Amino acid sequence: GGRRSGYITIGYRGSYTIGREAQADAKFRRVARITVCGKTALAKEVFGETLNESRDHDRPPERYTARYYLKFNFLAQAFERLSEAGFRMAACSSTGTCAFAPEQGGPADDKIWTSYTEYVFCRD
C-alpha cells in the first residue's frame, strides 16, 4: 500500500519497591507517561488525537521528534494502535537503578528501583 515506512519508539519510566520477600512484595506503580519518538507524520497517523503535541506543536511532518507523549498511559493500548497500523516490534531495551537504599535513610528492608524502557517499532 501507500503507507510510509519508518520507526516509532515508545518509552516510559517506571518505579517499583522490593521488600525482603522480593517475589511476594514487589509493588509497581502505574506508568505515568508514555513518550513517543519518530517522524511527526507517522506518530500522528498511528495515535491521532491521543498524541499530545504540546511540547513540539509546530514540528514539520517529515521531521523527527522525541518530545511527544500519549494522552493515555496503557502500554497495551499503544501496542495495539501500532499493530493495527502495520508496525511490528523490532527491539526493546530496559534499564533499572536503585534510587533509594536503606543506608540512605529509607525503610530498613525496602529498596525503591526506577526503570526506563523503550520499545522500537518499524513498518517496512
Give the SS3 label for residue 43: helix
pLDDT at 17: 75
Residues making up the chain, counted from first to last:
124
pLDDT tens digits, one per residue of 92-113: 999 988 866 556 555 555 677 8
pLDDT at 28: 66
- Those residues of the chain that have pLDDT short of 50 are none
* Enclosing H/E stretch for 41: helix 40-47
pTM of the complete model:
0.80
Give the SS3 label for residue 118: strand
pLDDT at 60: 85
Do the beta carbons of residue 68 and residue 51 sit within 8 Å? yes
Question: Which three three-digit cell numbers place residue 85?
Answer: 497500523
pLDDT at 29: 67
pLDDT at 90: 98
pLDDT tens digits, one per residue of 40-51: 999 999 999 999
What is the C-alpha separation between 80 and 36, in angstroms, rounded? 15
pLDDT at 95: 92
Helix axes 75-84, 40-47, angle to 10 degrees: 100
pLDDT at 114: 85
Dihedral in degrees, nearest 10, Cα atoms 41, 47, 50, 53: -20
